[in-house]
Chain A
Amino acid sequence: MVHVAGDAGFSRAELDQLYRRHAPSVFRRARRLLGRDADAWDAVQEVFQKMVTAHQSFRGEARPMTWLYRITTNISLNMLRSRSLREPAGLTVIDGHADDGQEALETRNLLQAWLKGLTEREQEIATLLFIDGLTQEEVADVLELSRKTINREVAELRAKAAALGALPEGDS
């Protein structure tokens, strides 16, 4: 199986260059969300496989990093949902969280609360806004939303996350 696409896709050299340029930031973001290296590398692989299959979408981005943020967030949150779903089903995944401090623990606790209490859209916005530290304008760019929409959704999100007791310190 060769993932590199045909005429309109990436050449091997181009994909290699994109990977070397962007994989470190994809890994750092996925690692922060997923908490363990093995899962973060899985996310890296999925993000770049997605880049290959959706090369037109990636090429069409005026700002490629926003595409990477969107896809990395989406894939990482899907992996977290999958992880939380499979735990009660007769087998529990043996946890391999690295010992990476209080901030990482707070991040994981926030994510767990958001996975239970927020919609998938709200989870994406919360992750980009509160964990990645993007501005509202950048979140709008990443998720391809209008400024008006993001302002309204962030206001609703803050209220909902506060009610869940799941706002990061300094945002409550």
Chain B
Amino acid sequence: MSPHLSALVIDELAAGLPSADAAAHLATCTECQQRLAAVKQASATISAMPAFQQRLDAVTLGEPARRGPWLRLVSIALPVAAALALVVFWPRGDDVLLKGAPTVELIANEKPVMVAKPGDRVTLAVGGAGATHAIVFGVDASGTVTKLWPAGGEAAPIAPGARVSLDVSFEVTPGDLVLLGFFTKTTQPTEPIREAIERSVAGARAPLEVLAPSGFGAVARSRLKVTP
């Protein structure tokens, strides 16, 4: 008996890709037959999930799909929080968009949050002002630059609207934070922006006074004050 089929080959067979070598083994190996059946069953279950079609739409039509239920459940439980002051920079140049200024903010109960306490829960929200893609970074008092959204390495699509929840929620921890949002009409990689922010932090009087670097689209900036 030859060794069992690898996960890669099982995936190929489940996807209907030909594998002549595997066919001979599969015909005589009950264990691999069961593994293949289990993968096919799992694939059928996954294909029936609502997100399956939503993500296909997002890929083919550029419409961002909604995030999974765990974040929405968290959002329901968000506490009421204080108001948020927002400073927006709207650079002129090639990336100027059409509809006013973009915004980046943390919200709770659909209201902006400017001051929060450790343990509060907040959700990231943006207003693209005509932009179709966004990236949001955070800078803390130590100068650490953290990409808050999206998870991947490219700007992600955003829905139109003045305050669009990105459905990524956070628990506030001690230390103030500056949010920097970058808005464009096409996708762009996130890492050059991180590097530019880090250079900007190095040149700032204090990390929380960092200015958003130019050349990466329209910019929005806000600051979260965290009280004890």
Contacts and interface: CB of A to CB of B under 8 A. Distances in A.
Instruction: State the main secondary structure of chain A at its contact with B.
Output: helix
B146 A86 contact: yes
Interface in B1-59: 6-8, 11-12, 14-17, 39, 42-44, 46-47, 51-52, 54-56, 58-59
A110 interface: no
Interface residues of B, number: 64
A86 B71 CA distance: 17
Contact of B70 (A36, A75, A78, A90): A36
A138 B17 CA distance: 16
Interface in B140-178: 140-141, 144-148, 150-154, 157, 167-177
Interface stretch (B61-69, B92-100, B196-204, B211-219): B61-69
A69 B8 contact: yes
A128 B196 CA distance: 33
A132 B7 CA distance: 7
A19 B56 contact: yes
B101 interface: no
A2 interface: yes
B74 interface: yes
A89 B171 contact: no
A156 interface: no
Contacts of A88: 144, 146
Interface in A3-50: 3-4, 12, 15-16, 19-25, 27-28, 36-39, 41-46, 48-49
A1 interface: yes
Interface size class of A (residues with CB under 8 A): 35 or more
Instruction: State the main secondary structure of chain B at its contact with A.
Output: mixed
Contacts of B60: 2-4, 12, 15-16, 19
A141 B167 CA distance: 37
Residue from A1, A39, A89, A90 with most neighbouring chain B CB atoms (10 Å):
A90
Given A4-B60, A94-B171, A21 B16 contact: yes
B121 interface: yes
Contact of B14 (A4, A25, A42, A82): A25
Contacts of A1: 62, 132, 157, 186
B146 A85 contact: yes
Interface in A91-137: 91-94, 96, 98, 132-135
A79 interface: yes
A61 to B, nearest CB: 11
A82 B62 contact: no
A165 interface: no
Contacts of A89: 138-140, 144-146, 177
Contacts of B224: 90
Given A82-B147, A90-B138, A132-B7, A21 B15 contact: yes
A59 interface: no
A119 B194 CA distance: 20
Residue from A37, A78, A94, A142 with most neighbouring chain B CB atoms (10 Å):
A94
Contacts of A147: none
Contact of A132 (B8, B58, B61, B174): B8
Interface of B: 6-8, 11-12, 14-17, 39, 42-44, 46-47, 51-52, 54-56, 58-62, 65, 67-71, 74, 121-122, 132, 138-141, 144-148, 150-154, 157, 167-177, 186, 224, 226
